[in-house]
Amino acid sequence: MLQHSKQLIIAIVDDHPIVIEGLKNLLSSETGFEIVSFTTGADFLNYLRTNDADVVLLDIVLPDINGLELCKDLKKKHPDMTILAISNQAERSIIVQMLQNGASGYLLKNASADELLDCIDKGMRGEQALSSEAREIMSRPATNDWNGIPSLTKREKEILRLISDGFSSTDIAEKLFLSQLTVETHRRNIIQKFQTNNMFSVIKLAIEHKII
């Protein structure tokens, strides 16, 4: 059990209600926590206008803003805030950028309850807090991070194929039953993973390496 002198306000920012409920259940055994939750970055920013949060459990793919950008913005405005990314993104470059943008740690969504509590504790103490899988990804040599073939999620591959077929973000959103903002977030993450500046270069590399 974590020991803190005051009740910690933990904010969960994730657009999947089932993830939020799961995290709340994991944290409910801890008596020193007050938990608030938000499904968009905008809702959380509105909350911060009149309230505080000690720890933020932040997803990277949000419907209205990229979690990488939100993390950077939060640390500028609230330097004492402890931000822990909780994501399915298992790409080393994404983890590195999140840490560079001010996150205290990074957990994959398959992390255990003990790992989550341990990472919150470490983050509050100013230590780097990585789940075991995130730590394993970070321990790989940086040269393996980009060999021309980044790891894409099933959804990212699906969106990339549709983009290469000439579909717009609006078309893709309708086809996959997603919001246009979610599609745009996936586009930005894909470009980040390929370490290029535009989608044209991404498609060229993806075709060369038979990703699409």
Is pTM beyond 0.75 here?
A: no
Instruction: Dump the DSSP string for 33-80.
Output: EEEEEESSHHHHHHHHTT---SEEEE-SB-SSSBHHHHHHHHHHH-TT
Q: What's residue 29's pLDDT?
A: 77
8-142 is classed CATH 3.40.50.2300: yes
Q: How far apart are CA 30 and CA 116, in angstroms?
A: 12
Residue whose tokens read 């822990």: 84
Report residue 84 as tokens. Answer: 């822990």
Q: What's residue 5's pLDDT?
A: 55
- The residue extents of the domains of the chain are 8-142, 147-208
Please state which of the four CATH numbers 3.30.460.20, 3.20.20.120, 1.10.10.10, 3.20.20.370 is assigned to the domain occupying 147-208.
1.10.10.10
Inter-helix orientation angle 199-208/154-164, to 10°: 100
Q: What's residue 212's pLDDT?
A: 79
What is the block-wise mean pLDDT of the chain (212 residues), using blocks of 10 residues?
Answer: 70 95 88 92 97 96 92 95 94 88 94 93 93 89 57 91 93 95 92 83 81 80
Q: How far apart are CA 97 and CA 192, in angstroms?
A: 10
Please give the helix or strand (H or E) that residue 137 lies within, else none: helix 132-139
